[in-house]
Amino acid sequence: MLQILLVTFPFFALVLAGFVAARRRMLPLEAIPGLNGFVLFFALPCMLYRFGSTTPITTLLDPSVIGVYLVCALVMVAFTIAITMNARIRWNDASLGALVAAFPNTGFMGVPLLAALMGSEVVGIVILTMLIDMVVTSSLCIALSRLDEGEGHGGQAMLDAGRKALLGVFSNP
């Protein structure tokens, strides 16, 4: 229990500090996008590198983990789209709902929490699943969300969106 508290407390204390700073206007609203950019493009990649650099490459590229997780992610996306699409909810909302359903938020707390609870040997698996989510799940869902666009051009819009999403993934640290 103490290990969980040691990992989660600093995270939530930082969130609370940010809330208090914004509420008391110590942090201008214009600064928030810059802070978000710093966290997403610098802090999170550095933390993942710190954990991943000490993980054997065979763990980071385990084909059985890739296969099982990829199948599960694709089934979750397909299932969510299948049960949500109807006359009112089209591709855009259904596929972005599927992204929310299939893409866990493991980056900020998942990696350090699992490392504290289960040991550093599970970190490689978590990083691998995050990579699959960023490259495959998010790109696929963003591409599918464009199928409603344009009269008869939904397929081309989907391919363009998928290409842009993949380029965004590969240009992100």
Residue range 56-103, pLDDT digits in tens: 888 888 899 999 999 999 999 999 999 999 989 998 899 999 998 888
With 0.75 as the threshold, say if the pTM is over it.
no
> Which of the 8 DSSP states describes residue 1?
-
Domain ranges of the chain: 2-171
The answer to whether 76 and 101 have CB atoms below 8 angstroms apart is yes
Per-residue pLDDT of 114-130, as tens digits, reads 777 887 778 888 888 88
Exposure string of 36-60, with b = 16+ CB inside 10 Å and e = fewer, is eeeeeeeebeeebeebbeebeeebb
**How far is the C-alpha of 164 from the C-alpha of 139, rounded, in Å?**
8
* Tokens linked to 18: 């940010």
**How far is the C-alpha of 2 from the C-alpha of 14, rounded, in Å?**
18
Nearest one of 36, 35, 141, 131 to 79, comparing CA atoms: 141
